[in-house]
Amino acid sequence: MEVLGDVIMKPRSGWVLGCALIPAICLTGCTTDQSSEPEHTVTTDATHRSAEPQPETRLTAQAQEALDAVTKADGSMVESGAERVSDGVHTQPDLADGTPYKLTVVCAGDGAAEIAFTPHDAGSTTSVPCDGSVVFERFTGQNSMRLDVQGKPSATGMIVWRINKV
């Protein structure tokens, strides 16, 4: 019986070894990269970006700093904002009729803008240079008053503004 056991065991050993090697060979063949094309990777342009803020961000910060240096954003503030010169400021603030207010405008960039009130007797038309200068305009609130600060042709940059109750 021992001879018969040896004969049966020898083919099984080879068969078991073959069964173990076939999946390993198949897996190795399936996982190797046989592509001759180079790998493409996605990269970000973070290394190509400038450390300096974008012009609009930089100009807004510059104008806001000038505005904050001369006015307070306290309880007397009615309305404020920051706009591109090309878009302009167009607002109809909720103001008390007959109450005095102060408009503060700073334009940073190139060219000039102009403050205009509607109705025209609410305040005067005033030029605002886009050189970072602070321009004040005192006016008396009227119902349904409109305020516009419009850039003149070829003016660029950012306008920041604030209306405070006096």
pLDDT at 59 over 60: yes
Q: How confident is the model at residue 155 (pLDDT cuts 50, 70, 90)?
A: very high
- The count of other CB atoms within 10 Å of the CB of residue 145 is 21
- Over residues 71-97, the mean pLDDT reads 90
CA atoms of 13 and 55, how far apart (whole Å): 77
Q: How do beta strands 146-151 and 126-140 pair?
A: unpaired
pLDDT at 8 over 90: no
CA atoms of 139 and 95, how far apart (whole Å): 11
pTM metric for this prediction? 0.66
Q: Are 161 and 104 in contact (CB under 8 A)?
A: yes
74 or 98, which is more confident: 98
pLDDT at 47 over 50: no
